[in-house]
Amino acid sequence: MSERTITLTTWSLAMDSPAELVPATAPGPEVRIERAEVPSPEFSRFLYASVGGDIHWTDRLGLTRAEWLAHLDRPGVETWVAYDRGTPAGYVELDPQDDGVVEIVYFGLLPDFRGRRIGGHLLTVGTARAWDLASRWPGRAETTRVWLHTCSQDGPTAMDNYLKRGFKVFRTETEEKPETATPGPWPGA
């Protein structure tokens, strides 16, 4: 039996100045965004698996607790979590490089919170926190660029949200890859 493949397109997007950020309207006082200041592999894995389970996020599922902690405990790595009336609704993870570039490594909402105007606000706050990241980490270079990538398997409104916030596509890549089942949020969530 031959393996089924899919065509996957990945877009890399960037913002080169904090002035390029176009803020989304905040959804209301019931939604707040807070930094998870204590590295917690369990909480980060919950967010990762719950947000990415239906859109094929699998690259971190095999990490051990020690590997999660080693990543999260690096200076400058930050996780910002959106809460809707106390319930985690989504997150954005920032990963700074030594040259002043900050990558938005992961961004998204749990399925039940999509389509409720939380994503634009979370991306706005996460991007703003990427731009001022050095103010929270002494010795870290000032941010000169914020970038992220999205792909054809991400949610249908992801690209539109990035473009509306002011990100611009700087690279597009297409590849054939094996089709994998969507793991869903439950395995290991």
Is there a domain that residue 186 lies in?
no
Region label for 143, one of left (φ > 0), alpha (ψ between -120 and 50) or beta (otherwise): beta
pLDDT of 135 over the 60 cut:
yes
> What sign does the CA torsion over 42, 48, 51, 56 have?
negative
Q: Cα–Cα distance between 188 and 50 in angstroms, integer?
A: 9
pTM (global) more than 0.75: yes
Is there a domain that residue 178 lies in?
no
Which tens digit of pLDDT belongs to each residue from 32-56? Answer: 999 999 999 999 999 999 998 888 7
Confidence at residue 148, expressed as pLDDT on a 0 to 100 scale? 97
Confidence at residue 129, expressed as pLDDT on a 0 to 100 scale? 98
Which tens digit of pLDDT belongs to each residue from 77-115? Answer: 999 999 999 999 999 999 999 899 999 999 999 999 998
Per the structure, the count of domains in the chain is: 1
Q: Are 13 and 148 in contact (CB under 8 A)?
A: yes
| Domain limits for position 130 | 24-145
Is there a domain that residue 90 lies in?
yes
Is there a domain that residue 163 lies in?
no
Is there a domain that residue 162 lies in?
no
What number of other Cβ atoms are within 10 A of residue 2's Cβ? 4
Is there a domain that residue 36 lies in?
yes
Q: Cα–Cα distance between 18 and 137 in angstroms, integer?
A: 18
Relative to beta strand 145-151, strand 101-109 is parallel
CATH number at 122 reads: 3.40.630.30
Which tens digit of pLDDT belongs to each residue from 140-156? Answer: 999 999 999 998 888 78
Helices 65-72 and 41-52: crossing angle in degrees, nearest 10, is 100
Is there a domain that residue 184 lies in?
no
Q: Which residues pair with 83 in a beta bridge?
A: 32, 88
Confidence at residue 181, expressed as pLDDT on a 0 to 100 scale? 67
Is there a domain that residue 179 lies in?
no
Q: How far apart are the first and last CA of the chain?
A: 32
